[in-house]
Amino acid sequence: MSSDIAGKVAWVTGASSGLGHRFAQVLADAGAKVALSARRVDRLEALAGEITAARGRALVVPLDMADVKAIGAAAARIEAELGPIDILVNNAGLSRQSRLETFTEEDYDAVLDVDLKGPFFAAQAAARQMIAHRRQGRIVNIASVAAFRALGHQAAYSVAKAGLVSLTRCQAREWGRHGINANAICPGYIRTEMGGDFWETEGAAKLIASLPRRRLGEPRDLDGLLLLLCSFEASRFINGAAMVADDGSMV
């Protein structure tokens, strides 16, 4: 399923940890030339070293997804050093927790800038290259089950992820004629660094006990779905989908 990913240029945002780190490794293992973006450059360089040691090719492209001008510059650098972008994995994200009545404008803007505005313009930059070079492309937006259900004290995050699902559909509608497929992966509860110490709390234990199989997901549980949506042949008729991978937590 992943053979046609070999040789493609894949851009992974938020690659310094968690799902993005895993996605970059998976695509590199499938033979893609991977551009790694995030703010924590030391972590990107360590990941690039791992990929290079495994005979892959990786390019470190530092990026703050809240900086739209920097997004365009990052995409231009990727094209110059690796070639036109074929695959974009819009993974960068953050969350702020607060009750609705106390949520600040600063926190709201921080979440929406990184989780929705940044992905909007990263996809625009990648699609412009795909269209200009008349190349098929694959855009995979990493949303969340929060797009479909209200998570406690994470209103801005839920709003951003719902918007990302809607953006995915708009991308599929407008860019499908250019051979660009846009889809979203909507993970459930995955154990990553983003969850911090929460997973060790009593509240987390209660949450996990309420899940159908009483377990959290691991980043590797999304490998198959990622490879499906990045494959040019296997995903040729999948466009505009929001695919939930939550181990049944929303059933």
DSSP 117: I
* Single-letter amino acid, residue 172: A
**Residue for token digits 């505009």?**
240
* Single-letter amino acid, residue 68: V
Residue 89 has φ and ψ, to the nearest 5°, of -110, 100
d(CA 72, CA 40): 19
Alpha helices in 82-117 (DSSP H): 105-112
Q: Is residue 21 within 8 Å of residue 15, measured between CB atoms?
A: yes
Catalytic pick from 157, 158, 185, 247?
157
Does 108 qualify as catalytic in the annotation? no
Residue 13 has φ and ψ, to the nearest 5°, of -95, 155
**Residue for token digits 């993005």?**
20
Active-site residue list: 157
